[in-house]
Amino acid sequence: MALALTEKLRLELERYRNKDFLKAVLAVCALSAHADPKIGLATRYRVDEVLDRLDLIQLFDRAKVNEVLDDYIYGIEQDPAAAAEILHAKIQRLSGDHKKARTLLRIAYLIIIADDLITPAEQAEFNRLCQILAIDPALVTKGLEAA
């Protein structure tokens, strides 16, 4: 009984510690996917693929994660400027953590290149995310293209 309670407490603490990172991941996914005016099947598939590969997602209810992501995307569709400001703020909270910031930018890049075409709007959003996270976009894309 005590062991089960200890494990439950560990999971709750892990969720609590990673909540801001999850929100930033979902914000990056929504902004990157929506940078292309038409969120195509390839883009949405890439978002789901990225989320499926993150161990972090296993800590949370996937249906709730999808619901939050859909809410972020819906917010962008309803009021792009206001939603972008809110989502950028969620991302900016991680600007001091280089590893998490780099991970967020890698996620954004994977989503942006999902349809094998980087539009000017997608590039602009990627550059904005780099600026928010205080990372030079050239360094990020250079490292990703080499991989």
Q: Is residue 5 in a domain? A: no
So what's the pLDDT on residue 109?
92
Q: Does 8 fall in a domain?
A: no
Residue 68 lies in a domain: yes
The CATH number covering residue 64 comes to: 1.10.3680
Average pLDDT over residues 112-137: 91
The answer to whether residue 95 is domain-embedded is yes
Residue-by-residue DSSP string for 111-136? HHTTTS---HHHHHHHHHHHHHTT--
Average pLDDT over residues 31-37: 87
Instruction: Look at residue 28 and tell me whether its pLDDT is greater than 90.
Output: yes
Q: Which domain holds residue 26?
A: 19-146
Q: Domain tally for the chain? A: 1
CA angle centred on 12, ends 6 and 18, rounded to 5°: 135
Gap between the Cα atoms of 2 and 25, Å rounded: 34
Which tokens belong to 131?
A: 């600026």
pTM above 0.85, yes or no: yes
131 occurs within a structural domain:
yes
Q: CA 122 to CA 38: how far, in whole Å?
A: 11
* 61 Rama sector, left if φ>0, alpha if ψ -120 to 50, beta otherwise: beta
